[in-house]
C-alpha cells in the first residue's frame, strides 16, 4: 500500500508522532524496534522522509494502533477528556483515569468501524429540556415517553445495555472503575453518545447506573457527567437523572401491580417484599424502595429505616431467593467488549486488519480474554460452515 495515495508524508509523520507520544514510547525505543536510526525517525515524524510500509507496520504495533488508522483520511481523533475536566470534582485522579478509558474505548470502536467499513447507525429520540416545576414528575413522563418511543411496553427490561446499544445506537461499555464511580456519560457530535459503567458493581447497580445515564442522554445530552450514586447531589439535573432511571426501569403502573401482588395479605412492608420486587425488576434494593417511596406505596424514609435497622443484606437475599441470589450479584462477570465492539474486533481480526496484540491495547482487556473472544468467534464460524455442509 502506498502511503502517499492516502496522506502526505507530513500528515503521516504527525500521526506517528501523536501515536508515539500517546503510547509513551521514547523515540530511541521506537527507532530500535523499527530497525532505523533515531534521526531517521525524527525525519519521518517531521515529514522530511516518507515512511516505508514495513516501518509503518512495526511502528503501529509498537504504538498499539493500526496501520490503517495512520493512513486513512478518516483516521480517528476523539478527545472526550476535556469535557470531564469541566465537571465539578473532576480533578480527582480516578475521574481522570475513567474519562481517559472512555475516550480510548470510543476511539478504538471508531477505528474498528473504519477498518471494517461499518458506520454506527444512531436512533436517538429528540432531546428534552428540564423544565421548571417538579423534575421528578417530568422524569416520570419522559421515561414513559421513551419506553413508548422504543415500543417496549411496561414490563421489566431483559437487557438494558443491549437495548441502549443495539436499538438506540449509543456507545456503551462496561469496565472496572474506582468503586465510588458508577458511570460516565459524554456526547460528541462526531461519535455520538457514550456511556461507561463500572463492572465491579452488582448487575442491579449497573442497571440503575445505566438508567441514570440514559436520563442524562435524554435531557442534558451535551453536558459530560460523572455519576457517583453514593454521593448526594441536589442539582436538578441529578435529581432528574435519578428519577428518570428508576421510572424507566420500573414503570409506575407495573410497579403498583406487582407491589399489590407481592404484598397481598400483608400489613407491613418487609425485607422479603423488597427483595422480590428488586429481583423482578433487576434493580438494587435501594432503588426498589426509593421507587416505592416516589409512588407513595410506602412512607418517605423507609429506606433510611432499613439502613438504620440492619439494612437488607446479601444474606437476606440468599435466604429469600436461594440459588437465584447468585444470579443477582453479577460480581463475578468479567468485563467484555460491548456486543457491537466485540463483533467489530472479531471481524477486523478475521480479515487480518488487526493483530491480537493490537486488540489487547484497543479493547483494554487481558490477552487471555481477547484470545478467548477470538477463538469463540472462530469456532462459531466453523459451526456455521458445518451447518451449511449438512444442508
- Cell readout for 152 is 417496549
Is the CB of residue 298 less than 8 Å from the CB of residue 292?
Answer: yes
What average pLDDT does this structure show over 245-269? 94
CB 279, CB 328: distance < 8 Å:
yes
Residue 230 has pLDDT above 80, yes or no: no
Measured between alpha carbons, how far is 249 from 294 in angstroms, rounded to an integer?
A: 14
- What are the CA-CA distances from residue 131 to residues 139, 157, 331, 344, 348 (Å)? 10, 27, 38, 40, 45
Q: CA 39 → CA 43, 46, 51, distances in Å?
A: 6, 11, 13
pTM of the model: 0.77
CA torsion sign for 28, 32, 34, 40 is positive
Among 102-111, 151-160, 302-311, 344-353, name the one with the lowest average pLDDT: 344-353
Contacts with 139 (C-beta within 8 Å, 6 or more apart), sequence order = 215, 240, 241, 243, 244, 247
What is the per-residue pLDDT for 355?
Answer: 85
pLDDT at residue 148 is higher than 90:
yes
33 or 233, which is more confident?
Answer: 33
pLDDT for the residue 391? 44
Candidate ranges 18-27, 63-72, 226-235, 372-381; pick with highest mean pLDDT: 18-27
Instruction: State the pLDDT confidence band at 232, using cuts at 50, 70 and 90.
Output: low
Between 144 and 353, whose confidence is greater?
Answer: 144
Q: Quote the pLDDT of residue 390.
A: 44
Evaluate if residue 65 carries a pLDDT over 90. Answer: no
Question: Cα dist. 290→58, 253, 303, 381, 385 in Å?
Answer: 55, 16, 7, 46, 51
Categorize the per-residue pLDDT at 1 as very low, low, confident or very high, splitting at 50, 70 and 90: very low
In this prediction, residue 66 carries a pLDDT of 77
**pLDDT average, residue stretch 114-137:** 89
Secondary structure of the chain in the HEC alphabet? CCHHHCCCHHHHHHHHHHHHHHCCCCHHHHHHHHCCCHHHHHHHHCCCCCCCHHHHHHHHHHHCCCHHHHHCCCCCCCCCHHHHHCCCCCCCHHHHHHHHHHHHHHHHHHHHHHHHCCCCCCCCCCCCCCCCCCHHHHHHHHHHHHHHHHCCCCCCCCCHHHHHHHHCCCEEEEECCCCCCCEEEEEECCCEEEEEEECCCCHHHHHHHHHHHHHHHHHCCCCCEEECCCCCCCCHHHHHHHHHHHHHHCCHHHHHHHHHHHCCCCCCCCHHHHHHHHHHHCCCHHHHHHHHHHCCCCCCCHHHHHHHCCCCCHHHHHHHHHHHHHHHHCCCCCCCCCHHHHHHHHHHHHCCCCCHHHHHHHHCCCHHHHHHHHHHHHHHHHHHHHHHHHC
pLDDT at 5 over 70: no
Read off the pLDDT of residues 92-125 as tens digits, 9 standing for 90 and up: 899 999 999 999 999 999 888 877 778 788 999 9
pLDDT at position 353, please?
Answer: 78
Residue 73 has a pLDDT of 60
Span 317-345, average pLDDT = 74
* Integer Cα distance of 159 and 48 in angstroms: 53
Confidence bin at 10 (pLDDT 50/70/90): confident
**pLDDT for the residue numbered 258:** 95
Does residue 36 surpass a pLDDT of 80?
A: yes
- pLDDT of amino acid 116: 79
Query: Percentage of the chain with pLDDT > 90?
Result: 59
Tell which residue, 358, 44, 357, 98, has the closest CA to residue 209: 98
**91, 47 Cβ separation under 8 angstroms:** no
At residue 141, the pLDDT reads 96
Amino acid at each position: 500500500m502506498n502511503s502517499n495515495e492516502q496522506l502526505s508524508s507530513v500528515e503521516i509523520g504527525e500521526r506517528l508522532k501523536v501515536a508515539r507520544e500517546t503510547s509513551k514510547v521514547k523515540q530511541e525505543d521506537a527507532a530500535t524496534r523499527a530497525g532505523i536510526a533515531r534521526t531517521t525517525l525524527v525525519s519521518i515524524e517531521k515529514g522530511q522522509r516518507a515512511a516505508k510500509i514495513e516501518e509503518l507496520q512495526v511502528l503501529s504495533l509498537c504504538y498499539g494502533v493500526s496501520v490503517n488508522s495512520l493512513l486513512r483520511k478518516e483516521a480517528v481523533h476523539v478527545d472526550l477528556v476535556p469535557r470531564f475536566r469541566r465537571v465539578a470534582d473532576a480533578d480527582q485522579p480516578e475521574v481522570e483515569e475513567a474519562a481517559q478509558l472512555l475516550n480510548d474505548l470510543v476511539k478504538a470502536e471508531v477505528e474498528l468501524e473504519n477498518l471494517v467499513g461499518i458506520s454506527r447507525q444512531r436512533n436517538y429520540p429528540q432531546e428534552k429540556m428540564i423544565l421548571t416545576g417538579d423534575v421528578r414528575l417530568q422524569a416520570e413522563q419522559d421515561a414513559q415517553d421513551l419506553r413508548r418511543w422504543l415500543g417496549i411496553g411496561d414490563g421489566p427490561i431483559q437487557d438494558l445495555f443491549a437495548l441502549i446499544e443495539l436499538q438506540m445506537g449509543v456507545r456503551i461499555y462496561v469496565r472496572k472503575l474506582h468503586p465510588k464511580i458508577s458511570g460516565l456519560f459524554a456526547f460528541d457530535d462526531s461519535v455520538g453518545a457514550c456511556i461507561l459503567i463500572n463492572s465491579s458493581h452488582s448487575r442491579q447497580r449497573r442497571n440503575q447506573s445505566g438508567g441514570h445515564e440514559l436520563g442524562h442522554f435524554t435531557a442534558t445530552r451535551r453536558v459530560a457527567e460523572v455519576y457517583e450514586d453514593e454521593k448526594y447531589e441536589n442539582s436538578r439535573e441529578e435529581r432528574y437523572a435519578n428519577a428518570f432511571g428508576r421510572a424507566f426501569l420500573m414503570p409506575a403502573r407495573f410497579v403498583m401491580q406487582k407491589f399489590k401482588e407481592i404484598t397481598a395479605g400483608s400489613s407491613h412492608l418487609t425485607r422479603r417484599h423488597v427483595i422480590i420486587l428488586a429481583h423482578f425488576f433487576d434493580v438494587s434494593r435501594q432503588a426498589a424502595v426509593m421507587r416505592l417511596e416516589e409512588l407513595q406505596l410506602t412512607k418517605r424514609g423507609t429506606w433510611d429505616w432499613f439502613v438504620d435497622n440492619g439494612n437488607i443484606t446479601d444474606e437476606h437475599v440468599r435466604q429469600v431467593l436461594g440459588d437465584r441470589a447468585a444470579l443477582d450479584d453479577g460480581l463475578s462477570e468479567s468485563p467484555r467488549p460491548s456486543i457491537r465492539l466485540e463483533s467489530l474486533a472479531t471481524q477486523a481480526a478475521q480479515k487480518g486488519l488487526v493483530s491480537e496484540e493490537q486488540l489487547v491495547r484497543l479493547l483494554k482487556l487481558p490477552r487471555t480474554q481477547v484470545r478467548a473472544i477470538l477463538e469463540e468467534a472462530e469456532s462459531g464460524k466453523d459451526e456455521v460452515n458445518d451447518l451449511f455442509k449438512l444442508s
